[in-house]
Structure 1
């Protein structure tokens, strides 16, 4: 509701006449000459034309402060852009851990990490020229795979395995892979098997070097390629895990297999390809079972 103004001389309400008893006219303070001069100088520095509104002057002042790198209350400070010359490649920890994991797997297969022995992450880090962190992370992955076990405040102990566990792994691999191999022998054309011949030859060359770690990797590559023809990635993953575990050294046994053993094992790859190409199912089954048992 509007407030009624004072009545006029004839008793009618006054129109447009402010009530001086309730509202007083406020006069803004007049700037001094020195203040006017300082304001003119600030506007000139900010690029504001003479006579511009105070809002434009304030905006110009904010822009000027931001350009000088000063913080203003009306806007957040600008985010500095990185200079191109300061950009450096970032080393991903995951890649370092992956390299250390591969190196530890190779050392494990080669017998350089002996069953029952405890290895600390800092000492292994010195060996590989890295900090203990990626080594510890890689060792934790090996613990998940069953290759090592954690020893609190000491490090990681290489798991001790016997021939019984190796026989169990061979049985499981045969149960999984033999039916798949027989199905592939009946369905895969000969040309596809010929494409795998270079992988079989690579295992022969690796075996001739006598390095168990090098041969173990080429051996897994060949078997993965064969099983991949089934089009089942879960099968490939599970079979590869079993294959890797079968390559770990045995407690009380020789640290490494001899060159002759590796060469004989690699020759079975070539024979298996020939049987698969000829669709000779009895030979395929026999070779796969013997290959797993000998591994």
Structure 2
């Protein structure tokens, strides 16, 4: 299958479609669909294979679109057509439209009747509100975990923290966004509350979408500083230094200051 390479239909609010803007450079490729596994010797039912293929393509298109949102390739305020994106993906418009509908549920885009989907324009206030909600949810949990989780469990998270540092040093916003969320998910998972992890991860993802004007405000140095807070926090937790850990946790979740 052709590479997943979403491209803008290039219509800002009130503009016209089909301006031929550059393709999204950071989108991953869509490999051949994975066949379902079956325990019987005969061929798989046609419907089952179709469902696996459709779900696989839709999921990979969704991942590509999320990457494009984080990197700013899908620009706030612009409208994107499912057929145009589907043509670039080498798929029909259906999985693209379904992926866009999922993004609409997440608040990343909004439906524009008879035109496509417009990327939501986010202001500084909305991003600050998301950061505040994250702090209200995650900080109390982290403070409790700092008192109850043994040092060896914190040490197990070191590879995830170091992955965020490598991604930040490389300057890849998309890779850093994934690594950042993976680290926070692993930390919160220590609380044993799956609903907490799911809700916090959704809020974290929303906070990673850049504001109107693109991601220029958060450069490599900002990402590196953010990532190093992960390793510093693990150092404090591994050393059983709750006072330092409390300070680092509070700093990391300062509203409006930690939206990579």
Q: What TM-score do you get using the length of structure 2 for normalisation? A: 0.77
Partner Cα separation in structure 2 for residue 101 and residue 277 of structure 1: 37
Contact 2:134–2:200 under 8 Å retained in 1: yes
Distance in 2 (alpha carbons) for counterparts of 1:265 and 1:282: 20
Preserved contact between residue 207 and residue 263 of structure 1 (Cα < 8 Å): yes
How far apart, CA to CA, are the structure 1 residues paired with 2:205 and 2:44? 44
Q: Unaligned stretches of 5+ in structure 1?
A: 1-82
- Aligned counterparts of 2:179 and 2:44: Cα–Cα separation in 1: 42
Report 1 or 2 for greater relative contact order, CA contacts < 8 Å, sequence distance ≥ 6: 2
Distance in 1 separating the partners of 2:99 and 2:43: 34
Counterparts in 2 of 1:193 and 1:136: CA distance versus 1, 3 Å: same
Using the size of structure 1 for normalisation, the TM-score is 0.68
| RMSD between aligned residues | 2.0
Greater displacement, 134-143 / 266-275:
266-275
Residue 265 in structure 1 maps to residue 218 in structure 2: no
Contact between 1:110 and 1:256, CA under 8 Å: does it hold in 2? no
Aligned pair 1:169/2:130, yes or no? yes
Given that residues 72 and 214 in structure 2 are in contact (C-alpha distance below 8 angstroms), is that contact kept between their aligned partners in structure 1?
no
Q: CA deviation at 1:253?
A: 5.0
Most deviating of 124-133 and 246-255: 246-255
Mapped contact 1:193–1:277 kept (Cα < 8 A) = yes
Tell me the equivalent position of 1:216.
177
**Taking structure 1 as reference, are residues 217 and 254 closer, same or farther at Cα in structure 2, changes over 3 Å only?**
closer
Give the superposition deviation at 1:209. 1.4
Q: 1:133 to 1:271 in 2, by over 3 A?
A: same
Which of 270-279 and 169-178 deviates more?
270-279
Secondary structure of the corresponding residue to residue 92 of structure 1: helix
- Contact preservation (8 Å) 1:268, 1:291: yes
2:76 and 2:214 in contact (8 A); partners too: no
CA apart distance, 1:201 = 0.8
Task: Name the SS of the counterpart of 2:111 in structure 1.
Answer: strand
